[in-house]
A and B are shown apart, each in its own frame.
Chain A
Amino acid sequence: MNIDPIPGNVPPTIPPRTPISPAPGLQKLGENPEEREPIPNMVVAIEAVLRQPRRIMYQLRQPGSGKLIGSMLLATIICILVYGLVVGSFSMHDQLWAAPVKLALGLLLTSLICLPSLYIFTCLSGSQARLAEMVGLLSGLLMLMTLLLVGFAPVAWLFSQSTNSIVWMGVLHLLFWFIAVFFGLRFLEAGFSHTQARSAAGLNTWIIIFVLVAIQMTTALRPIIGTSKTFLPTEKRFFISHWGDNLEKAAKDSRSPD
C-alpha cells in the first residue's frame, strides 16, 4: 500500500517575510534624516551628544567636520574649567586657579598622548575611520565626560565645603570621573562600531591605556585638591604609591586623638 502523507496538489505556502527594521544602533549612519542636519554651534553639539549621538557621528564623517570638532573641544575646555573651579574650592586661595588649569591641561595632554595609539589600534582592528574622525570621536568623549562632570559639580561643591578630608574628596572626584568616563567611552564605542572594524579588542586595550594615563596625569600634576608650595610636584611617583601613602596618612590621622 502506497501511503503518501503529503497531498499531491499545491505545496504549503511559505509566509512572506516581514521586513524587520533594524535597531537604531545597527542602522547605517545618516539613514535617519535628523542625523543629516548640520550642527552649527557648540550649544547644538552639546544637545546632540546627549540626545542624538549618531548625529555627531554622522557629521564627523562629512567634509568640514573641523568646525564641529573645534566646538566640542571648546565646550570641553569650558566645562573642565568650571569643574576645576569646584575642585579648587576645597582648598581655596591659589587652588581656585591652579586646579582648573591643571585639570584642563591634564585632560588635553592625556588626549594628545593617547590619540596616536587610538588611531593605531583602530586601524589594526580593521577600522576604515580617518584620523579626523577619530579625533572627532575623542573630542565627543571629552565633551560628554566634562558635561557630566559639570552636572556633578553642585554635589561635589557641597561635599567640598563640608569636609576637611582630602582622601574623601579624592575618592568622590574619582567616583564622578569614572561615571563620566563610562558614558564618554560608551559614545566612543558606539562611534567605533560604525567604522567597519573587525574586532573591538584594540579599542578595549586603548580604553585601559586611556584610563591609566588619565589617572597617572592627576598624580603627575598634583596637588589638584590639596595645597603645595610649588605648582608642580618635585618628586616623581606612580599613582598607586601616591594613593597608598595618602590612605595610610588618613588612617593614621583618624586613629590619633583629637
Chain B
Amino acid sequence: MTSLATNGISLGVLLRGDLDSLTTWLSHWNGRRLAFCLAVIFIGAGCYGAAMGMWRAPLQALYVAIKFPLIILLTSLANALLNAMLAPLLGLNIGLRQSFLAILISFTIASAILGAFSPLLAFLVWNAPPLSATAQASATYSFIQLLQVVIIAFAGITANVRLIQLLRRFSTGRAAASRVLFAWLAGNLFFGSQLTWILRPFIGSPGLAVEFLRKDALHGNFYETVFRSILYLLTRK
C-alpha cells in the first residue's frame, strides 16, 4: 500500500480530485496506473453489478458483474477516437492518450463510488422479498429501481465534476472545458445507452430465463423503443 501511495496510485487521489496528482497521471502515464484504473473499474462496477443481479439469481449476479465493467470499457474504447478529435476542435488541446485517460479516470471514480455502494445495495436486496412476477409490480421493485438510479446518478455526477476540474486545468478557458465535457458526455451517453440495451437484462425478470444476452439482443434499439413508447402514449385512445 505504501509503495502504491508513493507512486501516487491511490483511490484517495482520485476521489479527492487532487488536481496536481491527476495532471501528473495524465502527463506521465504508465502501465501501473492504467492497471490500477482497470482493476478499480472491474472490481467496483463488477461488485455493483453483482449486487444488482443477485436479486434474480446468483448466475444473474455473475453475468451482471461481467457486463457492467464491460459497458464502461467498451464505451471508453469505442468513443476514444471521436472524443480525441472533438477535444482540440472544441478548444482543448489534448491528445488521444490524454483524452482516453481523462475519461477512464472519471469512470474509475464512478466505479469506486458504485463499488462502495454495492454492499448497501446487496444488503437491501438480501432483505427484499424474492423477485417474482408480483414483486415486479410492487413498491419494493420500484424502490430498488429508484435507489439504483439515485446511486448511479450520484456516481456519474461526482465523476464528471472531477473530470471538468481536470479539463479546466488543461484548458485556457472555462468555456472550452465545458464544451468538451458536454460533447464527451453526449457521445458516451448515446453509445452507452445502446450498449446497455444490447447487454440487458441487468436486474432480470422472473418470467424469463437467466441468460447473459437475450436472444433478441440485436433486434431493435434503445431509442427506437423509447420513440415507440412515446408514440404509443400519444396516440393511445
Contacts and interface: CB of A to CB of B under 8 A. Distances in A.
Contacts of B197: 162
A159 B88 contact: no
Contact of A154 (B79, B219, B220, B223): B79
A50 B89 contact: yes
Chain A, interface SS category: helix
B194 interface: yes
Given A50-B89, A162-B194, A163-B224, A155 B219 contact: no
Interface stretch (A67-75, A120-128, A143-151, A212-220): A143-151
B145 interface: no
B21 interface: no
Contacts of B86: 151
Contacts of A186: 89
B57 interface: no
Interface string A163-194: 11100100000000000000100100000000
A161 B191 contact: no
A152 B219 CA distance: 21
B150 interface: no
A162 B220 contact: yes
Contacts of B220: 162-164
B98 interface: no
Highest count of chain B CB atoms <10 Å: which of A148, A150, A163, A164:
A163
Interface of A: 50-51, 147-148, 150-152, 154-155, 158-159, 161-165, 168, 183, 186, 254
Given A154-B81, A162-B194, 4 more contacts: A151-B86, A154-B78, A155-B79, A155-B190
A183 B194 CA distance: 25
Highest count of chain A CB atoms <10 Å: which of B81, B198, B231:
B81
A151 B85 contact: yes
A168 B78 contact: no
B152 interface: no
Nearest to B94: A51
Given A158-B191, A159-B194, A165 B224 contact: yes
A163 B191 CA distance: 14
Interface in B81-96: 81-82, 84-86, 88-89, 93
Interface in B46-95: 78-79, 81-82, 84-86, 88-89, 93
A147 B88 CA distance: 13
B218 interface: yes
Nearest to A151: B82
Contact of B88 (A51, A162, A164): A51
A158 B93 contact: no
A78 B217 CA distance: 32
A172 to B, nearest CB: 9
Contacts of A183: 89
A12 B197 CA distance: 73
Contacts of B215: none
A150 B88 contact: no
Interface in B172-198: 187, 190-191, 194-195, 197-198
Nearest to B89: A183
B89 A158 contact: no
B221 A50 contact: no
Given A162-B194, A162-B221, A168-B221, A155 B187 contact: yes
A142 to B, nearest CB: 15
13 contacts: A148-B82, A150-B81, A155-B190, A158-B78, A158-B191, A161-B218, A162-B198, A162-B218, A162-B220, A168-B224, A186-B89, A254-B228, A254-B231
A155 B191 CA distance: 6
A154 B187 CA distance: 11
Nearest to B183: A179
Nearest to B95: A51
A158 B195 contact: yes
Given A51-B88, A155-B190, A168-B224, A162 B219 contact: yes
A152 B82 contact: yes
A148 B224 contact: no
4 A-B pairs closest in CB distance: A151-B82, A154-B78, A162-B218, A151-B81
A51 B91 CA distance: 9
Contacts of A150: 81
Highest count of chain B CB atoms <10 Å: which of A147, A150, A155, A168:
A155
Contacts of B195: 158
Interface string B200-230: 0000000000000000011111011000100
A180 B158 CA distance: 30
A162 B223 CA distance: 11
